[in-house]
A and B are shown apart, each in its own frame.
Chain A
Amino acid sequence: MYSYLDELEAKSIYIIREAYHSYRDRLAVLVSWGKDSTTLLYLVRKAFFGEVPIPVVHIDTSYKFREIYEFRDKLAKEWRLKLIIARNEEALRQGMNPSMGKFECCTALKTQALRQAIERYGFKALLLAIRRDEHGIRAKERYFSWRDKDFKWDYINQPPELWEQFNQVEDAETHMRIHPMLHWREIDIWRYIKREGIPVVPLYFSGTKKPGYRYRSIGCETCCVPVQSDADTIDKIIKEIETTKIPERAGRAQDKERAYMMQKLRALGYM
């Protein structure tokens, strides 16, 4: 008997291979080195029998945790990744930081940095590890979801998507977002990490930064708040998520500075 995790895995690998079939060397995978994108990278390795044949793009705001940079460099070596580090140097030189407004900071250092990287390297499609259960706006996504020539997401006019058949528009002015893990939930990720022995950034474990606290969702050090937790092993994290009432992204500032902020960020091309 197979477990439901095998179903999730098989579907993700199928989508990754569909993406690679359609875009080949114009495809890249976008990672933040959190548990989801690390799992996505691992699934890419599975899809291609241990190799990662596409570039791995890290949008670096320069405000990430030290632990993330260390984890990135270690994994890049171990998994032989073709790593591209993308930063909006112009905005950083001008001193962009979260105190200038979280919406503005995320847009400049993430959305714009991504836009620059796509232009520089000529990518037509990106694999991203977003999941429906993370946020109400991400729940509205499709597996294949394009951004228009202004980099925008037209969430009101998305075409139908069914039976693992995906829309593909060969319009030169768009890029495709592909979400192979849209159907995974937070609990599935942790159960899968446990089963497969996938490495994760130590920030997820209680006590790494502060006794009695752990990060449940990680991004920039400036905009992440840890949650109270004694979970210092994967088993304890799984147990905690099975019972908690606190949402995964509770500690993420960009979701809540203003009403509908995530929707507005994503409409502009945020991840």
Chain B
Amino acid sequence: MSGLNIVIVGHVDHGKSTLIGRLLYDTGSVPEEKLKEIENTCAMLGHKMEFSYVADALEEERKKEMTIETTQTFFKSSKRDYTIIDAPGHKEFLKNMVTGASQAEASILIVDVTRGAEEQTMRHAYILKLLGIDRVILAVNKMDLINYDKEKYTRVARQCEKYLRAIGITLQHMIPVSAYNGDNIVKPSQRMNWYKGPTILEALDSLDVIRMEYDFRLPVQDHYTINGDRVYVGNILSGCISRRSEVTVYPGGENAVVKEILTFEGRLEKACRPKAIGLILSGFSPKRGDIIARGGRPTVAKNVRSTILCLIGEVRENESYLFRCTTQEVKCKVRRIEDKVDVETLERLPSTGVLKQAEIGTVYIEFEHPVVLEKVIVLPELGRFVLLKNGIIVAGGIYYG
């Protein structure tokens, strides 16, 4: 009964919220009471039934007819449960788009067939890649406005496919839809006999998301004293650990032995991902932010080259930030901003020494103390980090290795 988290992304006004509304409506997932509430609100505002209101709940969102804050809605198919994450399309709300998308395992990228890929279409696609979301379905929307024309569809679909391939995303499906009329969302369209592929719902049901297995890693979160024992707590990010195992604590590389594995349910012989556990160790006393590991060595680095995305304000060369990755928290300096990506042409532009909100670039970061990392493709949790300024997350970063 495991579910799938899907984020809907795309340029502003290409129809993200309407697609969600339609998906929920056609799967019979909008409660009657909610439908009535939406009808009443629409009547009050003096316009016809608006599917996007299913997702846009804030008064400001409905009045301004745009999504501001990310939201989640829920529905199920005959195959599984879905959580649908709506992400705002406006550039100024990119922080909210990333907040939403960072919780997703797959995505629907929506593009208005009358407009083709626009700036936020490409930025969002690029961010999906950064966030490690490579299960992507392309929905070419508003087919009703071009009389369901195959050629225009093909042109836009090819344009998007080419861009996505260039950034390293292989599309799972490309689907012509009209969210407004419900074509190819849940019901196959009768107006596009030239299209033989799946509907959006069938395409979603066909997605598989697999998590890679990896060696034991546990970031130390805290320690508590229980019955006189010092217990180190944290969540297992990957792998398993057994009682009496030898472990290594990074970044220092000290060795220790697991004396006991504690849980609420009692002492265990063995525990695996994703369990939140407590460990009693002998041989070394770690502190918060240390990574307890077994198996291969993680990367221990005093500096790193990485791709970052600025979420709020700006990131400046030679400025200090707080680096956080799992429970690690280390002061750092962005020593150099090496380049900036033009998300439309994919050119690497020369650096101006600053990355502004929504900009992506390569940076060279120096840490005050060594940090522990893993390549993002191997263990995402130890391959992505955030930079904070005054307690607020200003940028997200990826370590490719």
Contacts and interface: CB of A to CB of B under 8 A. Distances in A.
Interface of A: 2-4, 6-7, 9-11, 13-14, 17-18, 20-21, 45-50, 132-133, 135-137, 139-140, 142, 155-156, 158-165, 167-170, 183, 185, 187, 191, 245-247, 250, 256, 259-260, 263
A132 B84 CA distance: 11
A133 B84 CA distance: 11
Contacts of A20: 222
Nearest to A191: B1
20 contacts: A10-B276, A11-B235, A20-B222, A21-B221, A47-B264, A48-B224, A49-B262, A49-B278, A139-B57, A160-B311, A160-B396, A165-B393, A169-B390, A185-B83, A245-B28, A245-B32, A246-B31, A259-B37, A260-B59, A263-B58
B264 A161 contact: no
Contact of A259 (B44, B224, B263, B312): B44
Nearest to A171: B391
A139 B391 CA distance: 23
B157 interface: no
Contacts of B385: 163
Q: Which 10 A-B pairs have the closest CB atoms?
A: A136-B57, A162-B102, A160-B95, A13-B276, A46-B264, A4-B2, A10-B274, A247-B31, A140-B69, A139-B71
A135 B31 CA distance: 12
A139 B221 contact: no
B57 A45 contact: no
Contacts of A158: 69, 96, 99
B129 interface: no
A18 B324 CA distance: 13
A118 to B, nearest CB: 20
A140 B31 contact: no
B357 to A, nearest CB: 11
Contacts of B326: 164
Nearest to B224: A48
A7 B393 contact: no
A260 B60 CA distance: 10
B114 interface: no
Nearest to A163: B384
B288 A47 contact: no
Contacts of B288: 21
**Residue from A14, A46, A162, A169 whose CB has the most chain B CB atoms within 10 Å:** A162
A49 B263 contact: yes
A162 B70 contact: no
A245 B74 CA distance: 12
A162 B396 contact: yes
A18 B221 CA distance: 7
Contacts of B99: 142, 158, 160-162
A247 B221 contact: no
A50 B278 CA distance: 13
A250 B69 CA distance: 24
Given A20-B222, A21-B221, 12 more contacts: A4-B1, A7-B274, A13-B235, A17-B222, A17-B233, A21-B288, A136-B71, A142-B99, A159-B95, A160-B96, A167-B391, A259-B59
A49 to B, nearest CB: 6
A136 B102 CA distance: 19
A216 to B, nearest CB: 12
Nearest to B31: A247
B98 A162 contact: yes
A61 B3 CA distance: 37
Nearest to A250: B33
**In the complex, which of the residues B40, B264, B324 has the most CB atoms of chain A within 10 Å of its own CB atom?**
B264
B235 A163 contact: no
A252 B246 CA distance: 54
